[in-house]
Amino acid sequence: MPGEFLLDVVTLGPLAIVPAFLLAVISGMVAALIGSREERGLRRAPYLAFTAIIAMVSAGLALAWSFIPADRLPWLFALPFIGLHLWLGWLLGKFAIARAIDAWNIRGRGWLAIVPLAHFGLYLVPPRDPEAAPGLTPWKPLAGNGGVAAGLVAIVLGFGLAQIASLNAAGAFDEGGRGLHLHKPNSPGLAINLQLMAVTMRFINWVDDGPLLAVEARGNTLIITRDFGEHPDRLAIRRQAAAGFCSAFAGIFGAGAELQLRLAAGEDAPSINLNRERCEAFKSRPQGQREG
């Protein structure tokens, strides 16, 4: 799992892209809650409609992300998506302030929008002064029952888009590798992602003063060098490597990558090589043979 998540962070795959979008939305909301000078109120119905529509748009963006060609640089393509989520978050924060003004005439209660469960208060608390006209005038069809109907429709559509996106992400773990989010087997995107993975692993190893001597990517091969001492137990190391890497790197192995674990520095150092076929052979062996 750590290897899968690490790969998803550098390639913005299914495990990392949703948290990245969510963080962008929350950041936009916090920015609005701190910096917005909104002084107008917003009724419950249009608030429901606006927030549901924003959630639906976010689900649509997540679905659209899954169809970006995998042999592109993912972070370059992610920037406009993350930027849009920052803007959506800003709108959510702005509308939350307006709803808090309408309900309590207290701008600070707009922060309820980012508090689990407490945020329902923004949907349920009636206007403080029902007779007063709301300052933030919504699009007329979104007022009253029209806003409730539009919100419910947006919730259903957003839920459907989110389900399709999640199914698409789940399909990324098929036998062909990681599906649309990573790369087709042996595509140019595999080499790019292995380079990104090597850079990330070197950085983490440097920060944590880890045991790795070197990490590099050559084509579709990831080479990890570690010092196991003068007389390493190659059989024990092979078992540990297969047990760990075959699970953690199942995605890149499925896409055609190979791993070379060098037991010492140098091109001629003894090494252990793993790929999809060798991992499948290891898993097919009886448990006793794996440990023997």
Per-position DSSP letters for 210-242, written without gaps between them: -SEEEEEEETTEEEEEE---SS--HHHHHHHHH
Q: What is the pLDDT of residues 127-184, one digit of tens each?
A: 998 887 777 766 778 888 888 999 999 999 999 888 887 776 555 444 333 433 444 4
At 201 the pLDDT is 81
| Average pLDDT of span 262-268 | 83
At 9 the pLDDT is 53
Q: Are 80 and 24 in contact (CB under 8 A)?
A: no
At 46 the pLDDT is 92
pLDDT at residue 78 is higher than 50: yes
Domain coordinates in residue numbering, the chain: 2-179, 188-291
User: Which architecture does CATH list for 188-291?
Assistant: 2-Layer Sandwich (3.30)
At 1 the pLDDT is 42
Q: Are 189 and 182 in contact (CB under 8 A)?
A: yes
At 36 the pLDDT is 82
At 180 the pLDDT is 36
| Average pLDDT of span 74-97 | 85
* More confident of the two residues 273 and 199: 273
Inter-CA distances, 92 with 13, 33, 104, 159, 217, Å:
26, 9, 18, 18, 43
* More confident of the two residues 267 and 95: 95
Contacts 24+ apart (CB under 8 A), 99-105: 99/41, 99/42, 99/43, 99/44, 99/47, 101/38, 101/39, 101/40, 101/41, 101/42, 101/135, 102/41, 102/42, 102/43, 102/44, 102/127, 102/128, 102/134, 103/127, 103/128, 104/128
Q: Are 66 and 123 in contact (CB under 8 A)?
A: no
With cut-offs at 50, 70 and 90, classify the pLDDT of residue 75: low
Would you tell me the crossing angle of helices 44-65 and 145-170 to the nearest 10 degrees? 20
At 22 the pLDDT is 80
Strand 258-262 and strand 221-226: pairing?
Answer: parallel
Mean of pLDDT over the chain: 78
At 151 the pLDDT is 92
Q: What is the pLDDT of residues 218-250, one digit of tens each?
A: 888 999 998 777 777 777 887 787 778 888 787
* More confident of the two residues 146 and 193: 146
| Average pLDDT of span 19-26 | 81
| Average pLDDT of span 180-191 | 51
